[in-house]
A and B are shown apart, each in its own frame.
Chain A
Amino acid sequence: MIDEITRMMRFLEFSDSAFPVGTFSFSNGLESAAFEGIVYDATTLEQYTYTALQQTIYSDAIAALIGFRAAAKRDYPLIRKADQQIILCKMNAEARLMLTRMGKKMAEISSQITYDPLMEKWLADIRQQLTPGTYPIAQAIFFQQNGLGEKELFATIAYGIINMILNAALRCIKVSHYETQHILYRLCSTAHVDYETIKDMTFDDMRVFAPEMDILAAIHEKGKMRMFMN
């Protein structure tokens, strides 16, 4: 058993926006939204971030929780299924690229700093392209191996998407640190309700509804702006 202080330290480490999986390289379409004048201040940024958060909660977070519980039982086929479901449901190429790059990086970091046979197998399968290796599933395995709970996993996924967009916003939109922290604070305050809503959901419940965000991602994919990756 891991002691409480160490557990909290691990939680802080793995949910830190500076955790080096390349989060800073992606904007989730925000770059196009800023260029098109759709997101231009704190109010519009909060709406955009809210939309991204909802999509993540009702897709990645559902699969991650299933993967987390599967990792506890060492149910490898179910872990792989959760990984595959995330890719099947991710409708733009940019998002798939983001999740697989970050997922592979997370697995690599994990195998560097600690040993777990499940994560070793996971990384080997990613390298052999036997599984896509998405970020939420790497997080699920990593959290399981480090004694963290599923609520912490959920919080990290939700916090991660909010923080990714807000950090990107500081580089391409006229907003202050005060405003982005305020948005983060507000959006995080409803996460517990979202967790209760999705915690028992299945793969069949994974869903999205963000057509404008999809179009912005497509514009970014085809465009020449490259402050962030696609």
Chain B
Amino acid sequence: MITDFTQCREVHPYLAEPQAMRVGAPGKCGLLDLVFELTREGKSIMRQWTRHAPLIVQQELYFDEAMPEMPCVYILSSGGPNIDGDRYENKFTLKKGAFAHISTGAATKIAEMAYNFSGLKQNFILEEKAYLEYIPEPTIPCRNSRYITDTVIEIAPSATLFYSEIYNGGRKYYKEGELFEYDLLSICTRAQRPDGQPLFREKLVATPKENPVRPIGMMHNYDVFANVIVLTPEKDAAEIYDKTQAFINRDKRIAAGISYLPNQCGLLFKVLGEESQPVKRIVREFGSIVRMQIKGKPLPKEFVWR
């Protein structure tokens, strides 16, 4: 079950209704329900694409040069940044054997807020031998913003999900610079098997004004943080683990680490950096290792404009 955000303790200080448009007003509740499946000819297509503004997707494209058979979908938002009282919901289903790549057209900005909060609920369903790369652009929580997400993954044992998130500390180069001036960032991701067996639950909560995130062990001197979850069969996880380095590069001020998730369900890869581009590059390199292991093909170079 996806959480009712108002029940989450950390958002209790931020339940005041927005003064401009109420929570749930038209245009403030985006919805995507995308279903990918294999055709009789074995082509992976987006069979269903229900969407409510401000969330938009266009017809799937097949532009991945390393995997031209892969449907690629970019999520766009016609509403600009997430503002107070916005609620978004994504549901992505990959039927048996289907595969897809989903990203966003640009960074997700969480705008400065005076009332309430912005929330995103996500539901991923991957059937047997399905494969999904979910690699959105970074999220940027601005000053005084409150953002909460709840992601529920249901995955069959033979399927693979590459799920990445990148969080900037804020608008680093805006005016005098803005880092970790948001009120709340609450990110919950949990997974289970189709029979309901729980696999893991990771809830990351940062409230930098109450509890500074600069101490050693938290963000320390880094400004950007990536969290990548790879749910994949145990044998593939072991191969990916062996091929992935854990390191701290003090000169380039970037670090990455990988560990096994509970219940032999996959891997957790974390990256810390000063800027989003090097972090994105490392996430993509890791994505290439995963794709090579599962599909036998690398991730192509990122477009120069991304």
Footprint of B on A, CB under 8 Å? 29, 33, 36-39, 44, 47-48, 50-52, 54, 58, 84-85, 87-94, 96, 201, 204-219, 221-223
Partner of A33, one of B200, B216, B218, B250: B216
B213 on the A face (CB < 8 A): yes
Partner of B202, one of A33, A47, A89, A217: A89
For B204-223 the 0/1 string (1 means CB < 8 A from A) is: 11100001010111111010
CA distance A91 to B200 in the complex (A): 8
Given known contacts A88-B201, A92-B259, A212-B217, A201 and B9 CB-to-CB distance under 8 angstroms: yes
> Do A219 and B204 touch (CB < 8 A)?
no
> Do A47 and B203 touch (CB < 8 A)?
no
> Do B204 and A92 touch (CB < 8 A)?
no
Given known contacts A88-B198, A88-B201, A91-B202, A36 and B225 CB-to-CB distance under 8 angstroms: no
Footprint of A on B, CB under 8 Å? 3, 7-9, 186, 190, 198-206, 211, 213, 215-220, 222, 225, 227, 245-248, 250, 255-263, 268, 270, 272
> Do B250 and A94 touch (CB < 8 A)?
no
Query: Chain A's nearest CB lies how many Å from the CB of B54?
Result: 29
Query: Chain A's nearest CB lies how many Å from the CB of B245?
Result: 8
**Which single residue of chain B is at the shortest CB-CB distance from A58?**
B205
Given known contacts A212-B255, A212-B272, A217-B259, A52 and B200 CB-to-CB distance under 8 angstroms: no
Partner of B270, one of A44, A51, A205, A218: A218
> Do B250 and A37 touch (CB < 8 A)?
yes
CA distance A90 to B268 in the complex (A): 11
CA distance A140 to B9 in the complex (A): 24
| Inter-chain contacts of B256 with A (CB < 8 A) | 215
Most buried by B among A50, A221, A222: A222
CA distance A93 to B231 in the complex (A): 15
CA distance A217 to B258 in the complex (A): 9
CA distance A208 to B213 in the complex (A): 12
CA distance A87 to B215 in the complex (A): 25
Most buried by A among B3, B199, B201: B201
Given known contacts A208-B203, A215-B256, A218-B257, A47 and B270 CB-to-CB distance under 8 angstroms: no
Query: Chain A's nearest CB lies how many Å from the CB of B203?
Result: 4
CA distance A58 to B207 in the complex (A): 13
Partner of A208, one of B9, B204, B216: B204
> Do B204 and A36 touch (CB < 8 A)?
no
**5 pairs, CB–CB < 8 Å, chain A vs chain B:** A36-B248, A48-B217, A207-B205, A209-B204, A214-B257
Query: Chain B's nearest CB lies how many Å from the CB of A35?
Result: 9
**Which single residue of chain A is at the shortest CB-CB distance from B229?**
A91
CA distance A93 to B260 in the complex (A): 6
Query: Chain B's nearest CB lies how many Å from the CB of A10?
Result: 32
> Do A91 and B216 touch (CB < 8 A)?
no
> Do A221 and B218 touch (CB < 8 A)?
no
| Inter-chain contacts of A219 with B (CB < 8 A) | 246-248, 257
Query: Chain A's nearest CB lies how many Å from the CB of B247?
Result: 7
Given known contacts A214-B270, A219-B247, A221-B246, A87 and B262 CB-to-CB distance under 8 angstroms: yes
Partner of B257, one of A47, A52, A209, A215: A215
**Which single residue of chain A is at the shortest CB-CB distance from B192?**
A88
| Inter-chain contacts of B260 with A (CB < 8 A) | 92-93
| Inter-chain contacts of B211 with A (CB < 8 A) | 54
Given known contacts A209-B213, A212-B218, A94 and B201 CB-to-CB distance under 8 angstroms: no
> Do B219 and A212 touch (CB < 8 A)?
yes
| Inter-chain contacts of A36 with B (CB < 8 A) | 248, 250
Given known contacts A47-B216, A47-B217, A207 and B203 CB-to-CB distance under 8 angstroms: yes
> Do B204 and A212 touch (CB < 8 A)?
no
CA distance A96 to B265 in the complex (A): 14
> Do A89 and B201 touch (CB < 8 A)?
yes
> Do A92 and B205 touch (CB < 8 A)?
no
| Inter-chain contacts of B203 with A (CB < 8 A) | 89, 206-208
Query: Chain B's nearest CB lies how many Å from the CB of A28?
Result: 9
Query: Chain B's nearest CB lies how many Å from the CB of A47?
Result: 4
CA distance A33 to B216 in the complex (A): 9
Most buried by A among B190, B255, B256: B255
